[in-house]
Amino acid sequence: MNEDCIFCRIVKGETDTKIIKESERLIVFKDISPQAPIHLLIVAKKHIQDITRIDEETWNEIKDVATGIAKARSIPGFRLVHNAGDASLVKHIHVHFLGEVSGERKL
Ligand code: AMP
Ligand code: ZN
């Protein structure tokens, strides 16, 4: 737990963020500034910085939760985005789940 970390505060239930899904090591909630019709954040309960520090179990669980969301909501295509190090704004590991995105993109 990092007192200054917004995602740690969400994990602790200190905000009014609606938790959409919870698993052993993760929570899922909507991104506050959506960049796609469906934009969820899959967030570790533990304060881990990013993919360079993550354990295999948590990383595998991210895969399971992401594919589980797509299956449960019948989302035919989705993107997963992870920003690490200086590329991230919140230094608490999360993966962006972006659904209903167009296939006509450069990246
Ligand atoms: P990044 O670390 O670059 O992957 O970006 C952090 C993401 O977290 C951004 O897309 C923000 O909109 C999102 N975010 C920051 N604070 C909150 C919050 N309190 N609730 C939901 N999403 C948030
Ligand atoms: Zn944190």
Tens digit of each residue's pLDDT (9 = 90 or more) over 26-64: 999 999 999 999 999 999 999 999 999 999 999 999 999
**What proportion of the chain, given as a percentage, has pLDDT over 70?**
100
Ligand 1 close to Cβ of residue 31 (< 6 A): yes
**16 CB under 6 A from ligand 1?**
no
- Ligand 1 neighbour 32 (Cβ under 6 A): yes
For 40-98, give the DSSP string.
EEEEESS---STTT--HHHHHHHHHHHHHHHHHTT-S-EEEE---GGG-SS-S-EEEEE
Say how many Å lie between the CA of residue 94 and the centre of ligand 2: 10
